[in-house]
Chains A and B, each alone.
Chain A
Amino acid sequence: MLLILLGVLVLHLIILILLIVSTAASAWTVGGDRSSDLWYNCMTTNGGYHCKPASNEDWLQAVQALMILAVLFCFFSLIAFVYQLFRLVKGGRFFFTAIFQILASVFVMCGAIIYTVMSPDDAKVVFGYAYVLAWVAFPLCLISGLIYIVLRKKE
């Protein structure tokens, strides 16, 4: 009861942190001394660390928007969870929380898919940790949303 609640809340917080790190860190593509995407293209030359803003392509802006929306919806779902925890009638389901969480997972999925498909093919570059975190956050977010659908407030 209390343990399940705590577990669900901890999972939600972990997902939120994963999403925030994945969105904020500019490490969706790394290669050698270069790490780029979502927000900055940074290069470590012998002079130092030089960053310039990421390209203005439309697909990259769409990925930025979707990741930000995912973070926002995950946050809204956390607020809805806390609100519904205290205000829900006994035996009720956490629908609002579940809807926001599932929407957040859909946004992360769309963002990650668009990035995978549209990122330019280059022999030397591989996907960075922020990209991996986005793909990890997506199933966790979906599972968390489904848990909220089946979760019921105890009498």
Chain B
Amino acid sequence: MLTFLALASVVLLGIVPERSQAIVIYTGWERHALVGSDIRLSCSFFSWRWTSEDVTFSWTYRPDGSRDSISIFHYTGGAAYVDNKGPFRDRLEFVGNPGRRDGSILLKNLEFADNGTFTCDAKNPPDIVGRPSSVRLLVFEKVPIQAGVITGAIIGVVLGLLVLIVVIYYLMRFLVARRVFSLSVSKHGKKKKEGSQQRQGPAPPADPSKIKV
């Protein structure tokens, strides 16, 4: 067991330096937004190296149905360059924090023509080998119902009601037993014995019919 652990750790330490050269970029998978609203497209990366001063972020946009990408944002040398000629002129803003490996952009006043794929590419020299990550933007007139929302809501409500009914049922039984007990304490002990026998006599399942009606 110990030798296996030792071997495994040596193998992992051997592998890690080679993998450490790859930078991993994270964006969302798909984003939904309403026409006219703003949306923040987030992009961050993971790198085994410290964040260098030459870190670069670049965003490219490919409209739905088109095969060409257009570059819309570039951050390099500590300065952000936003689109001033393309489809997003005056609508793009850099809201990221490169020091914290965040290269997010803000798209304002969305139009239907903004449907498409946004690709973020980040480089953290000397860690430059990596795959750009893409997020798909879907612009809607009104936000459609997501899969499973209504399903989950119905199931949750019904199960919640079930739990509530069971809890109330047992609570009522407990309280009624309590009340009978406390009532007969003030009276004779005989009454108490009668009361407790009456509780155990009829089968408990007889109660739900009374309570449910």
* Residue positions of A touching B, CB distance < 8 A: 53, 56-58, 61-62, 64-66, 68-69, 72, 84, 88-89, 91-96, 99
What distance in Å separates the Cβ of A15 from its nearest Cβ neighbour in chain B? Answer: 19
In the complex with contacts A91-B203, A92-B205, A94-B205, A58-B150 CB distance below 8 A: yes
In the complex with contacts A56-B144, A56-B145, A56-B147, A65-B205 CB distance below 8 A: no
Q: Interface 1/0s, chain B 183-213, versus A by CB < 8 A?
A: 0000000000000000000011110110010
Q: Which size class do B's interface residues fall under?
A: 20 to 34
Residue of B nearest to A57 (CB): B145
Question: Main SS of chain A's interface residues?
Answer: helix
CA distance A88 to B204 in the complex (A): 8
* Interface flag for B155 (CB, 8 Å): yes
* B155 / chain A contacts, CB cutoff of 8 Å: 65, 68-69, 72
- B151 & A65 in contact (Cβ 8 Å cutoff): yes
- A69 & B158 in contact (Cβ 8 Å cutoff): yes
* Interface flag for B65 (CB, 8 Å): no
* Residue positions of B touching A, CB distance < 8 A: 144-155, 158-159, 203-206, 208-209, 212
Residue of A nearest to B145 (CB): A56
* B154 / chain A contacts, CB cutoff of 8 Å: 61-62, 65-66, 69
CA distance A96 to B155 in the complex (A): 20
* A69 / chain B contacts, CB cutoff of 8 Å: 154-155, 158-159
> Which 10 residue pairs of A and B lie closest in terms of their CB atoms, listed nearest first?
A92-B203, A65-B154, A61-B150, A95-B205, A65-B151, A61-B151, A89-B203, A64-B151, A56-B147, A65-B155
